[in-house]
C-alpha cells in the first residue's frame, strides 16, 4: 500500500466504521459553519463554493462535536508512514450545483483555467502581489480528504494527476535545494512551477476521486490536484458535496517539504 502511495501520489481508503462515527459528529459542526457569519467570506464562485478554510472547530487530535480523536485506517497509515502532526481546524469545502463560476476578482484566464483544468494546483503555493508570484508559504506534510455528505460520483469530485508529485517535487528541489533553510520560503518558484505543471498535464493521468462518507483519500503534498466541474447529471443533498480536509504543516518547514519522500 505504501508503495502504491509513493508511486501514484494518492491512496483511497475503503469504508471505515471509525471514520463513519467521526463523520456523525463532524457533519453537524461542518453544516453549521456554512451559515456562520464568522465564515461568510468563504462563500465564493457566485455561491457555488464554500471554501471553508479553518471552518471546522476540531481540536489538534481531530475531536469535534463530541467525537473522539480522528482515527481509522487512514490515520493509521499516516502514523506508520508519514508521521502524525497536530491537526489545524479543518477546511469545510462545499460545492453546489453550477460550479465552477468565477471567483470574486478572478479574471477571464483564471476562470477558464478553473473550468478547463479543474483549478489544478499544489497546496501551499499562494499567489501574491500584482504579478501573482508564488512561494512555499505553507509546507504541508500531507493532504487528507474526508467526505461528509452523500453525492453522486460526478458531483465535483477531487481530481489528482497521478504521479505528478515526482515531476513537481523534482522541480521544486531544483529551485530550493542548496538554499539556506531560512531562505527557502522566500524563493520564487513561479516559473518552474508553471513549467512543471504543463509537463504534468501532458504526461500524467487525470484521475477523479469520488468518495462517500466513511471513506477517505490521502494525497502526497506535491501532487497536482483540483476539483472537477459539477456535471449536469450530478446529485447531492441540500448540504451539497461537502468534504473536510486536513493538511497540517510540516514541523520541519520547507526543508522537510522538499527532502521527505
Q: Where are the domains of the chain?
A: 2-259
Q: Provide the terminal-to-terminal Cα distance of the chain, rounded to the nearest Å.
A: 15
Going by C-alpha positions, the residue among 164, 1, 7, 166 that lies closest to residue 80 is 1
Residue 126 confidence class, pLDDT cut points 50, 70, 90 = confident
So what's the pLDDT on residue 219? 98
218-236 pLDDT, tens digit each:
999 999 999 999 999 999 9
Residue 130 confidence class, pLDDT cut points 50, 70, 90 = confident
23-45 pLDDT, tens digit each:
999 999 999 999 999 999 999 99
Residue 52 confidence class, pLDDT cut points 50, 70, 90 = very high
Average pLDDT for the chain: 96
CATH fold of the domain at 2-259: Jelly Rolls (2.60.120)
Residue 260 confidence class, pLDDT cut points 50, 70, 90 = confident
- Left if phi > 0, otherwise alpha if psi is -120 to 50, otherwise beta: which for 97? beta
So what's the pLDDT on residue 95? 98
Is pLDDT above 90 for 178?
no
So what's the pLDDT on residue 128? 84
**Three cell numbers at 215?**
471513506
So what's the pLDDT on residue 261? 83
Is pLDDT above 90 for 152?
yes
**Arithmetic mean of pLDDT, 83-91:** 97
So what's the pLDDT on residue 75? 98
Is pLDDT above 90 for 131?
no
**Arithmetic mean of pLDDT, 99-124:** 95
* Contact by Cβ (8 Å): 87, 246: yes
So what's the pLDDT on residue 36? 98
* Contact by Cβ (8 Å): 107, 215: no
Amino acid at each position: 500500500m505504501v508503495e502504491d502511495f509513493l508511486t501514484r501520489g494518492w491512496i483511497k481508503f475503503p469504508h471505515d466504521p471509525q471514520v463513519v462515527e467521526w463523520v456523525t459528529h463532524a457533519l453537524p459542526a461542518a453544516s453549521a459553519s456554512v451559515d456562520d457569519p464568522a465564515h461568510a467570506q468563504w462563500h465564493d464562485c457566485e455561491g457555488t463554493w464554500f471554501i471553508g478554510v479553518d471552518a471546522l472547530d476540531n481540536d489538534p487530535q481531530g475531536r469535534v462535536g463530541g467525537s473522539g480523536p480522528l482515527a481509522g485506517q487512514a490515520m493509521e497509515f499516516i502514523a506508520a508512514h508519514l508521521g502524525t502532526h497536530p491537526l489545524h481546524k479543518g477546511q469545510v469545502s462545499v460545492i453546489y450545483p453550477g460550479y465552477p463560476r468565477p471567483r470574486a476578482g478572478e479574471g477571464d484566464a483564471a476562470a477558464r483555467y478553473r473550468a478547463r483544468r479543474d483549478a489544478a494546483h499544489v497546496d501551499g503555493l499562494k499567489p501574491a502581489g500584482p504579478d501573482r508570484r508564488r512561494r512555499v508559504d505553507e509546507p504541508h506534510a500531507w493532504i487528507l480528504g474526508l467526505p461528509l455528505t452523500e453525492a453522486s460520483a460526478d458531483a465535483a469530485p477531487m481530481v489528482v494527476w497521478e504521479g505528478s508529485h515526482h515531476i513537481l517535487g523534482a522541480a521544486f528541489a531544483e529551485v530550493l535545494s542548496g538554499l539556506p533553510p531560512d531562505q527557502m520560503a522566500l524563493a520564487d518558484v513561479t516559473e518552474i512551477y508553471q513549467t512543471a505543471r504543463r509537463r504534468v498535464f501532458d504526461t500524467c493521468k487525470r484521475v477523479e476521486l469520488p468518495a462517500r462518507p466513511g471513506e477517505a483519500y490521502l494525497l502526497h503534498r506535491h501532487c497536482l490536484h483540483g476539483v472537477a466541474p459539477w456535471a449536469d447529471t450530478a446529485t447531492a443533498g441540500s448540504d451539497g458535496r461537502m468534504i473536510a480536509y486536513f493538511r497540517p504543516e510540516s514541523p520541519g518547514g520547507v526543508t522537510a517539504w522538499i527532502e521527505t519522500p
